[in-house]
């Protein structure tokens, strides 16, 4: 399955799509990137003197690239276009802040995929190649009404 098709099948829209591009997706994991846009509504009021990307959005970015894109790839071989993945659990550790305007890179490693459930190790780096956060995410297949 092509990377552009995976991105097209994501069930997210602006301002909640945190996948700008995919560099790699295979049976073992996914790698992609996203730039947190400075003017996005999602940052208004989060540390009003110096905006910081909330940890929940860093987790969401890791989940969209590392779990959902990988899940779409893994289940895409069946030809089922209406399958998406929803986050069911997360355990994240945050090491450095990310600021609006920064580009991050996410890499996931599949732990397992069976019975419609996917579990991955995820890591995020900033533009200076510093580890920003890491953790374990799990998700499950759900019907995607976006077709």
| Among the listed residues 105, 18, 102, 103, the one whose alpha carbon sits nearest the alpha carbon of residue 68 | 18
User: Could you tell me the two tokens for 66?
Assistant: 């590392």
Annotation says 137 is catalytic: no
Quote the CA–CA distance of 27 and 104 in Å, as a whole number.
Answer: 22
- Among residues 24, 46, 82, 103, the one annotated as catalytic is 46
- Count the alpha carbons within 13 Å of 143 in the hemisphere toward its beta carbon: 1
DSSP state of 9: T
Could you give the residue numbers annotated as active site? 46
């Amino acid at each position: 399955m092509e990377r552009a098709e995976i991105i097209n099948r994501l069930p997210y829209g602006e301002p909640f799509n945190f996948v700008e591009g995919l560099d790699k997706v295979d049976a073992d994991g996914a790698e992609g990137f996203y730039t947190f846009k400075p003017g996005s509504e999602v940052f208004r009021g989060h540390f009003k003197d110096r905006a910081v990307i909330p940890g929940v959005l860093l987790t969401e970015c890791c989940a969209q690239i590392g779990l959902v894109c990988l899940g779409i790839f893994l289940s895409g071989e069946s030809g089922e276009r209406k399958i998406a993945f929803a986050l069911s659990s997360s355990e994240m550790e945050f090491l450095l802040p990310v600021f609006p305007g920064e580009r991050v890179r996410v890499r996931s490693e599949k732990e397992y995929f069976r019975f419609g459930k996917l579990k991955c190790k995820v890591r995020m780096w900033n533009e200076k190649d510093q580890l920003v956060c890491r953790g374990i995410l799990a998700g499950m297949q759900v019907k995607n009404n976006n077709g």
